[in-house]
Amino acid sequence: MTSEIKIDHREKAYSLLRKDAEKIAQLIKVQMDNLTMPQCPLYEEVLDTQMFGLSREIEFAVRLGLVDEMDGKTLMDSLEKELSILHEAFTNK
């Protein structure tokens, strides 16, 4: 495999992971806008499931050498920070 193709696969893998992370971020934003966490435990379950799924995708991409482990960790950390803000906002409501 030429290095050009390898770089393209790495960029594509990271781009796909970023898109998945953006979808989760959008779910968090909707939840923040409505602050309906206790009325909608199913929504929280969906967020948890999506976060778990993304973490597994990242782990797989890292194991294949398509994504740097620190880049994957940064993606997850940013989403976890947003989730933390959501929980804090609801608690302070």
Per-block mean pLDDT, blocks of 10 residues, the chain (93 long)? 75 95 89 66 81 96 95 94 81 71
Predicted local distance difference test score (pLDDT) of residue 59: 97
Q: What is the CATH number of the domain that holds 32?
A: 1.10.287.750
Q: Using a cut of 0.85, tell me whether the model's pTM lies above it.
A: no
Nearest-CA neighbor of 47 among 74, 68, 24?
Answer: 24
How many structural domains are present in the chain? Answer: 1
Q: Which domain holds residue 57?
A: 2-91
- Predicted pLDDT of residue 36: 60
Which helix (H) or strand (E) segment holds residue 39: the answer is none
